[in-house]
Amino acid sequence: MRGGRKRVLVTGGAGFIGSHLCEQLLARKCEVLCVDNMYTGNRDNLRDIANHPYFSFIRHDVTFPLFVEVDEIFNLAAPASPIHYQFDPVQTTKTSVIGSINMLGLAKRTKSKILQTSTSEVYGDPQIHPQTEEYWGNVNCIGPRSCYDEGKRCAETLFFDYRRQYNMPIKVVRIFNTYGPRMHPNDGRVVSNFIMQALRGEPITVFGEGQQTRSFCYVDDLVDALQRMMDTEHDVTGPINVGNPGEFTIKQLAELVIEMVGSKSKIEYRPLPQDDPKQRKPDISKAKQFLDWQPKTQLREGLVKTIDYFRNL
């Protein structure tokens, strides 16, 4: 604690979720150190807090060691959309694995709490529904998505091995589909894709027959869960699912976006990508139990804010 303020490191802090987290940590009167290599991060995401007296930014790649003094670490560093993580799959794996080793080493030296943002992708194309934390997953370890899926799975392994070996205060959350302002307009994620296509009047590209399902969590709800998880006691390690259990087919989402944008776009169907999950829905029983958390924002409400953001780009 420095001057009564916790000094909190957020890796990937210039990204979509990271920038919202930095804002909320500052609102909680923390001193925030934002680290990002700007591979998918964006300086514009930080413009409202760039001049805050308790905010600092370091351009740094977490695959290299970082020597700073902090009290807590939120490890969000990783390209999270298929377009970005498949562009340089070797670097994607290195970011999850070597980046985690470096951040865990920093946490060990500084005796900091450290939270890993894992992903629902650790469940792969799940064979149980909804997905509970006890499910070991159905992941193709040599497919085009495995750089992200297996990188995150290995990161979880490292976190729990550090816990077992050094009794470190680790936290692991598994994030399900998240959306909201500051999503990258060209990141290939379904919400941003559909909104941008609808705003431009282009065909809405739906893969397969659009019957695969996703659960969409608004970013403010997610950030609240991350902070609640960090605030838990030493014995609460996770992994804990964080997402909205409301389940929608991709076709339903496309139709809703077209309606809300007031677009004349038509749905265009394309072949389903390899290893694309057919169902995705979190069981959030543990989040309710240990974090006293569940999402508050309904999909339509969150889409209003997200569409407004993309209209004004």
Which sequence positions are flagged as catalytic? 148
Number of other residues whose CB lies within 10 A of the CB of residue 194: 26
**Tokens of residue 30, six digits:** 């923390």
Cα–Cα distance measured from residue 184 to residue 150, given in angstroms and rounded to the nearest whole number = 24
Using the Cα atoms of residue 9, residue 13, residue 178 and residue 181 in order, give the sign of their dihedral: positive
Give CA 16 to chain center in angstroms.
8
Cα–Cα distance measured from residue 126 to residue 135, given in angstroms and rounded to the nearest whole number = 9
Beta bridge partners of 55: 32
Residue 137 to residues 7, 29, 166, 202, 287, Cα–Cα distance (Å): 35, 39, 27, 36, 19
Strand locations in 88-153, DSSP E? Answer: 113-119
Residue 295 to residues 168, 206, 252, Cα–Cα distance (Å): 29, 26, 20
